[in-house]
């Protein structure tokens, strides 16, 4: 087995809206995982979870609450972004690769802008977009929504998480689903020899472009 396995962090943000410039993060969830031999075969190994609500500087619009089920009352006593973001980045670590569904268009820009507003330097970490990867390696699929991909993999016994529809769009649960979906896609598409830290990024770039979180 390789000495330095790649560590990935599946992360998800719930926000007050869709604009990184005008809206704010109200919840961060993350699941850290890697790949190790388990019972003689390579499998997903979970290393930790992170979750925090975030108190924004503005009212949470009703349309956002309908999607993520987070209200003003729920975040009233939550820490603010300048307190949550450093804790989240410490959880990620300096050598992890981040994963988010539609991450290049939504989560990475939101995270980078939130760090800028809070006066925090965003670390230089690769961000993989599981939506783009799924579109490239599961081309026969009719839908690339995370929940739909997860349902297909669960039906075939490839992921173990019991899917609870009512919990979708809360950050930590979405990350638990994403970690299993992304982990299974990677194990299908990337050879075992390329799962090590020194080879993984080049192998991942063959599946879909990788962007860097930095600033």
H/E stretch holding 46: strand 41-53
The separation between the first and the last C-alpha atoms of the chain, rounded to the nearest angstrom, is: 35
- What is the residue whose two structure tokens read 């089920």? 69
Give the Cα separation of 209 and 88 in Å (integer): 24
| Catalytic site residue from 101, 104, 165, 169 | 169
| Residue 139 CA neighbour count, 13 Å, CB half | 3
Of 30, 60, 58, nearest to 46 by C-alpha is: 30
- In DSSP terms, 55 is beta-bridged to 80
* Nearest by Cα to 6 from 186, 206, 196: 196
169 counts as catalytic: yes
Q: Which residues are catalytic?
A: 169
């Amino acid at each position: 087995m390789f000495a330095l396995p790649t560590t990935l962090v599946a992360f998800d943000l719930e926000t007050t809206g869709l604009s990184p410039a005008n809206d704010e993060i109200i919840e961060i969830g993350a699941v850290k995982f890697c790949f190790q031999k388990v019972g003689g075969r390579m499998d997903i190994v979970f290393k930790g979870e992170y979750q925090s609500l975030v108190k924004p500087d503005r009212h949470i619009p009703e349309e956002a609450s309908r999607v993520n089920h987070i209200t003003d009352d729920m975040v009233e006593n939550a820490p603010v972004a300048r307190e949550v973001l450093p804790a989240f980045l410490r959880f990620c670590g300096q050598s992890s690769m981040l994963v988010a569904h539609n991450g290049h268009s939504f989560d990475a820009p939101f995270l980078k802008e939130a760090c800028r507003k809070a006066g925090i330097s965003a670390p230089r970490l690769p961000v993989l977009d599981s939506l783009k990867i799924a579109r490239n390696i599961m081309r026969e699929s009719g839908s690339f929504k995370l929940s739909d991909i997860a349902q297909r993999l669960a039906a075939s016994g490839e992921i173990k998480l019991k899917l609870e529809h009512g919990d979708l769009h809360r950050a930590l649960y979405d990350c638990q689903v994403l970690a299993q979906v992304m982990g299974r896609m990677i194990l299908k598409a990337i050879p075992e020899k390329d799962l090590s830290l020194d080879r993984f990024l080049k192998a991942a770039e063959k599946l879909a472009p990788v962007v860097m979180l930095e600033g």
